[in-house]
Structure 1
């Protein structure tokens, strides 16, 4: 076992299309790469991320153990990883971004096994080769659209500014407890698949991240007349305007990141989404209107698109709360 070194310049260490994206990756130094050869002591194929413990030697010859984090199982399965990829005692060469705190914890850049194979998280925009006949199906986001960036640029109220200034992501985010960000956050995802299932009396909107599931009632009902707000996803009703699905959602449960990182959402949050199929059938076009006057100084209007991906299937996330709290939070 040996330390290969610490690299400060990232140019030249990138392999293929490597994208690091995880709920806690803000705690890692993306400008630094540690590189070492070591022996696998543990390989955990669970969520919110795959974890690899690797024993190696420090520069002083001391035996140390690195905790290496990768992406979640849906992302890594699509990158070719399997539950039996590694076994205890396997020799691997690791390149990873270390945790800023100085602990022996890092997020993976690449891993090379003894057969010369290099493993990493593959993230590329999907090919547009198949046309859908409706919005029903599996859809994958495009990196060319950034709904999240647009939301982060919306002017905030003083209450939101104060909340964001006082917010500590690592101790306060509900992600610690395997709670997905509320809509519209996951519409911006390029790493997790979205599913739309159109039924006679409802539409089911799914995202792989934390197995988020939203039920859109299409039976003509109104929103319930109650002050109770118990769902992170809110209460959704919908209707068709020609071939466009319109979704109206209110009664979101209070969330400290309901309108972006550190920007909460409250009782007045209201969202309207419009889903339509592109002319060539290869994309679903999504327009979002969001208002929350308690925290957003003006309404937000955004747009994103997803590619029809029937060759893929949504995978279960099955978040482990214990592992989630260990993922760079504690």
Structure 2
């Protein structure tokens, strides 16, 4: 009977450990983004995915006039952080809306993605920050 309890305990420990490892492995760093560069892109929303751990927005546009429009994937923080940092909501944008985004591009040349820092709705001029770290600066209220 003792051996069965020890075996059950060992299996339970391994199961808990494996569950924790998968959660840690699922998260990635922002090292793939070039924080020395900041780009702007105007375009139309293709899709916004309001899911954890990161909200993503796909936009068709171009950061420069000499570049053909393409689909760009913008990564942000979590839905909860966006709600707290700048009044974001799940229904704030929809496919077809025209927006302008400020973002850090990926380090790898040719990648059409970035880390979103700010989004502006062109129809209203309303600006939505996406950088939770800006809220930690002293003197902000």
TM score, norm. by length of structure 2: 0.68
**Please, which runs of 5 or more residues in structure 2 have no aligned partner?**
1-26
Name 1:83's counterpart in structure 2: 90
Q: For residues 307-318 of structure 1, what are the structure 2 equivalents within 5 Å?
A: none
Shift of 1:63: 2.4
Q: By percentage of residues, which structure has more helix?
A: 2
Shift of 1:77: 1.4
| 2:38 pairs with one of 33, 44, 55 | 33
- Alignment partners' CA distance in 2, 1:101 and 1:47: 25
Name 2:112's counterpart in structure 1: 104
| 2:66 pairs with one of 25, 41, 60 | 60
Greater gyration radius: 1
Name 1:95's counterpart in structure 2: 102
Name 2:15's counterpart in structure 1: none
Shift of 1:59: 3.6
Name 2:80's counterpart in structure 1: 74
CA offsets 1:252-286 (integer angstroms, 9 cap, x no match):
xxxxxxxxxxxxxxxxxxxxxxxxxxxxxxxxxxx
Name 2:125's counterpart in structure 1: 116
TM score, norm. by length of structure 1: 0.30
- Alignment partners' CA distance in 2, 1:119 and 1:23: 24
Secondary structure of the corresponding residue to residue 74 of structure 1: helix
Secondary structure of the corresponding residue to residue 39 of structure 1: strand
- Alignment partners' CA distance in 2, 1:117 and 1:23: 30
CA offsets 1:280-308 (integer angstroms, 9 cap, x no match):
xxxxxxxxxxxxxxxxxxxxxxxxxxxxx
- Alignment partners' CA distance in 1, 2:67 and 2:112: 15
Secondary structure of the corresponding residue to residue 47 of structure 1: coil
Deviation beyond 4 Å, 4+ runs, structure 1:
none
Secondary structure of the corresponding residue to residue 27 of structure 1: coil
Shift of 1:62: 1.8
**Please, which runs of 5 or more residues in structure 1 have no aligned partner?**
1-21, 126-142, 145-330
* Number of aligned residues: 106
RMSD: 2.1
Secondary structure of the corresponding residue to residue 77 of structure 1: helix
- Alignment partners' CA distance in 1, 2:76 and 2:93: 13
Corresponding position: 1:24 with 2:32? no
- Alignment partners' CA distance in 1, 2:79 and 2:67: 34
